[in-house]
Chains A and B, each alone.
Chain A
């Protein structure tokens, strides 16, 4: 059967090109792989190779012809036993297919069919039984205990990172783990973030449950490719075949007097990526309960801690298995006049501010988001409906922040409830300075939250 040779596309966006040169003549024997012609666009030249064998019949488009549409029949190829000279041009062959869009055998995209991901509703923190002892535990110990409990529970869980084993953790979060679990499961890595983030993600793809510690998330910048491109996207790109249940954890945000390169909040960065879970707890109970949930989770998790909070002591219910739900905010303080939305270290500042506001007759509700992705917008909107005023307190830059996101949600979905503009209280929009006075000026504090709350209550 005669074969039509059609004008090929060099790229999905190419619509037409120049047939620069014929390298074979009518009547030539064509073998697979032979270069028959050269095609040119403004960007490139392509060699047109034969994928079938036969004899070149009529050349239908002369060399040097410009503006040849993709899909146009440019020559005929005679198969075995056919007379090449006999072949006629096909009748005004119409180009039905739009290059780059495939054939018209697809599904029509209908809005109605697009199902947004289901969110679990009415999930609450498990009840703490009456009479449960409340231990006083630092966040550092809570995190360590979460890892130790999960390592006892599941052989697949292991910890890797810089100084996590013999040194007992750069910030002592992994203290004692090497003694209990040995070097197979508590692995000191070289200083090689990109490499071990990739090894961690690969081990998760291979069926393990790695907990990858970054000495700080500032250093994870060198590894962000694996967190986003390898861990977050592979499940989707594989149509759900590939799992990557890895936890990347470590301190995030400003520490104390360590300068700009060691002081950044990456919450908004990771929270913008579909395919990731992003958790940023404040107190010991949430640190433990959410880290345990993160380790059990089938999805890749970025778990953002805060160095300045590690040493703080909070109450933690002494339960056999303290696991909290991912994706649910927590009301830290109920109030009726203004909602202060926060996460991580800024929750402490928001609570301080709320105390001060109470002294001035303003009853503030404080919400700890706990999980930044998926964000519990229902909790924010519910509180907004009650207080009609929202302030977001975030230890981080204001531009494209979690605060920006909360603001957008309030505007889009809570507009009718708003009695005042949604207001962001963040760090100053500068690299964090070293000098003590400048650092203090650059960072969020409770006084600024108080000021903003009074402003939205029209009490300034």
Chain B
């Protein structure tokens, strides 16, 4: 196709998304379909297995502690969704990249290898918690790891993530921001305000919709006109990807493709990871909006941990090695729970600290 000659100045000016005549929503999806799963070594797979299992066991224990009244307020468990955080975060450049998410945040922190003790102690509201007991389940952060929360307002993390991406671009540090949100948050207006600016300014950000099929108790088909969430960037010319979020190797492969696109300066990517939460929205979920059979079917046929275990065994991993991992993790989680249960609450003098940074 012959193109009109451009003036030198016009050629130099960065192309706005609207000028990109070659934009194809599916370009990255097609790349993923060519090769769907990441070529992980057995060691890498063992590590994924271990990390996912840690999240699973940690969350089960958190649910138990909640039931015993040791964890208060809201507590949103990540059980069933483990492959999303592990597949994506294993592909990050830990020195440069940032992550932000909503209130279902325990798994994303564990994916960083943050000590389960300080996470569990935050859940129980103790001094040793990662937020000194002042944040709780929904408000945890680790600036050391460039993990920026842990946000309780549905969808707020998307715009904040846009800001983190702006900082990466401004500082030219080569980093990208990974901003997670759910299918529920995907209906918030600020998500689209952020999509617009992220595409317009070509911000280095990967938007990840963890579609666990229910916004609290409302099924996606009851809340969303467009339930193919990866298409929702189309209006902003953001390429979309639809990923099986129950397969850690597929998530990891998608991460490789998306991160490369973003690091090449081509702007944001919208990735929908189809996943499923086994537990209620929060611990006080009445579980009346879905059948027990539906949940059991997911557990029996789609479980991310069992799925990877199968691949591992096919690749020659030994059953007893996997059992040994399980045993170790149980110990780690038990220790975390004991620590969280027996650590002191914050001192009264902490009440007024950290309100402001400076004195006036």
Contact = CB atoms under 8 A, between A and B. Distances in A.
A190 interface: yes
A70 B285 CA distance: 17
Chain B interface: which size bin?
35 or more
A49 interface: yes
Contacts of A10: 67, 283-284
Contacts of A132: none
Contacts of B100: 202
Contact of B286 (A44, A192, A242): A44
Contacts of A206: 98, 148, 163-164, 166-168
B261 interface: no
B163 A198 contact: yes
A118 B360 CA distance: 8
A207 interface: yes
Given A107-B346, A202-B164, A71 B60 contact: no
B358 interface: yes
Nearest to A108: B348
A236 B167 contact: no
Contacts of B132: 239-240
Interface stretch (B37-45, B194-202, B207-215): B194-202
Interface string B18-55: 00000000000000000000000000000000000000
Q: Which of A98, A99, A120, A230 has the most CB of B within 10 A?
A: A230
A100 B283 CA distance: 13
Contact of A184 (B98, B125, B170, B193): B170
A274 B257 CA distance: 43
Given A33-B299, A225-B156, A235-B354, A45 B64 contact: no
Interface stretch (B86-94, B136-144, B243-251): B136-144
Interface in A96-122: 97-103, 105-111, 113-120
Main secondary structure of the interface of A (DSSP, over half): loop
Interface string B329-360: 00000000000011111111101111111111
A243 interface: yes
Contact of A242 (B125, B141, B278, B347): B141
A34 B200 CA distance: 49
Contacts of A48: 67
Contacts of A102: 69-70, 72, 124-125, 345
21 contacts: A43-B286, A44-B284, A51-B63, A106-B345, A107-B344, A107-B345, A109-B348, A115-B352, A192-B197, A198-B190, A199-B194, A202-B166, A205-B160, A206-B163, A208-B170, A225-B153, A239-B131, A239-B134, A240-B354, A298-B358, A371-B360
- By Cβ-Cβ distance, the 5 closest A-B pairs, closest first, are A202-B163, A198-B159, A195-B193, A8-B67, A206-B167
Given A71-B68, A102-B125, 13 more contacts: A10-B284, A11-B284, A45-B286, A47-B292, A102-B345, A118-B359, A184-B170, A190-B197, A205-B160, A205-B164, A230-B160, A235-B357, A277-B360
Interface of A: 6, 8-12, 32-33, 35, 43-49, 51, 70-71, 97-103, 105-111, 113-120, 158, 184, 189-190, 192, 194-208, 210, 225-226, 229-230, 234-243, 274-275, 277, 297-299, 325-327, 371, 374
